[in-house]
Amino acid sequence: MSADRPDRKILLSESEMPTQWYNIVPDLPAPPPSALHPGTLEPAGPADFEPLFPMALIMQEVSMDRYIDIPDEVLDVYRMWRPSPMYRALGLERALDTPARIYYKYEGVSPAGSHKPNTAVAQAYYNKVEGVKKLTTETGAGQWGTALAFACALFDLECEVWQVRSSYDQKPYRRAMIETFGGVIHPSPSDLTEAGRAVLAANPGSPGSLGIAISEAVEMAAPNPEVKYALGSVLNHVLMHQTIIGEEALLQLAKVGETPDVLVGCTGGGSNFGGLAFPFMREKMAGNMNPRVLAVEPAACPSLTRGVYSYDFGDTAGTTPLMKMHTLGHQFVPDPIHAGGLRYHGMAPLISHIYELGMMDAIAINQNECFDSGVQFARTEGIVPAPEPTHALAGTVRQALEAKEAGEERVILTALCGHGHLDMAAYDCYFAGEMIDYEFPEEKVQDAMTRIPAV
């Protein structure tokens, strides 16, 4: 082993962990459009959110402070797995024979196995402080439900999760993990809510949807001041909590004297991507570096590259405030790709706004190419990635091969937002040759698009 071989891991001590979240909003050249009340079409105010969220989070949602101190109690929990490791992908570089230097920031070391606890812990904490006794939420594949159950266990809150029926049946391991962390979990639609009962009355065998599960979780939270609702992506405060990822990554790259030429992340709701990218965008706006910022979305749900930028609902049922975002229409149902966390009809309003400002690029990639890269990554780096970050890895491999073509020593930083230990059925499907690259004809979204509210 050569003495000057670079370390594979770039670690920070707990005392080096950042103690503030970064709010990119005040640094942007133009403010993002307000959310609108769906009835009045007036800008939505704190009172509109109060039945669902604690005031501290509502204030963070609209804050113009550049930095917000992370509470000591949240820092103490973060220290269970943070600072998260950054890796130099020496094995993948060798396999690609690229002059690029590839770094990845790995969030799979968290209790839930993804970046989701970064915001779950913060949300549980602020709810606890304001006297809330229980949090409700929806979950699809189960990452978010797991993260919230874990966070609630630590702050002695009850946690009730409505999981989309089809996932509930297909992914019993996720359900068991939520229960292990002390969460109560129901398949959605359930007979516990009016929303659920209505769906079951019409269709007793309904496989459920994220939209229905949101309706159930919200219905159980809204009327009871001791019960609140928690959302795992999309909103400003959620993205802000994730900036701990990018702040750490800045410190880690500085330790090895690197500045990135390109940042690559996958986008679903946008929280993992924003969490990595926003601190680097700050440095770019300040003239300290000039990375290209590249979002990779699934070809089957391409909200940034194929959607429109318009006011739309956050949920399928059309009950949330209207948010200006890139959307495929709130009633668009994506094909069943394995990256369940990327199957969202819209993009975080803040990411959408930044995209419109020309501060980032986006591409869409089909899932077989993503799993090609995911398997190559597993065999060279030893970590089996979740289906979502295989999109970031496919984008990274493309960048590394471009660098090879150009003969350039490009520095690539990517976000490996979670492991795939509970998603191995997707790999089974891939190895069986049964993974489908769905077509995405324009007609697919037209019907849903016609129902985007005219504002």
Q: List contacts with its own copies (CB under 8 A).
A: 1, 5, 7-9, 11, 13-15, 72, 75-76, 79-81, 91, 109-111, 113, 150, 153-154, 172-177, 179-182, 375, 378-384, 419, 421-422, 424-425, 427-428, 431
Nearer CB in complex with its own copies: 88/330:
88
Sign of the CA dihedral running 389, 445, 31, 35: negative
**CA atoms lying within 13 Å on the CB side of residue 149:** 26
Tell me which residue of 46, 1, 12 sits closest to 247, measured CA to CA.
12
Distances (CA, A) of 167 to 114, 157, 163: 18, 25, 7
Distance (Å, whole) CA 200 – CA 439: 31
Cβ 187 to its own copies shortest distance, Å: 15
- Print burial letters for 427-449: b (CB count within 10 Å at least 16), e (below 16): beebeeeebeebebeeebbeebb
Tell me which residue of 86, 104, 180 sits closest to 142, measured CA to CA.
180
Question: CB of 112 within 8 A of CB of 147?
Answer: yes
Distance (Å, whole) CA 399 – CA 352: 23
Residue 22 has φ and ψ, to the nearest 5°, of -105, 130
Cβ 422 to its own copies shortest distance, Å: 6
Cβ 15 to its own copies shortest distance, Å: 8
Place of tokens 């101190």: 69
Nearer CB in complex with its own copies: 51/182:
182
Nearer CB in complex with its own copies: 183/298:
183
Cβ 388 to its own copies shortest distance, Å: 16
Cβ 80 to its own copies shortest distance, Å: 5
Question: CB of 425 within 8 A of CB of 170?
Answer: yes
Nearer CB in complex with its own copies: 102/449:
102
Question: CB of 335 within 8 A of CB of 322?
Answer: no
Nearer CB in complex with its own copies: 378/401:
378
Cβ 321 to its own copies shortest distance, Å: 34
| CA-based R_g, the chain, Å | 21
Nearer CB in complex with its own copies: 1/47:
1
Cβ 49 to its own copies shortest distance, Å: 29
Cβ 76 to its own copies shortest distance, Å: 5
Nearer CB in complex with its own copies: 36/397:
397
Nearer CB in complex with its own copies: 22/155:
155
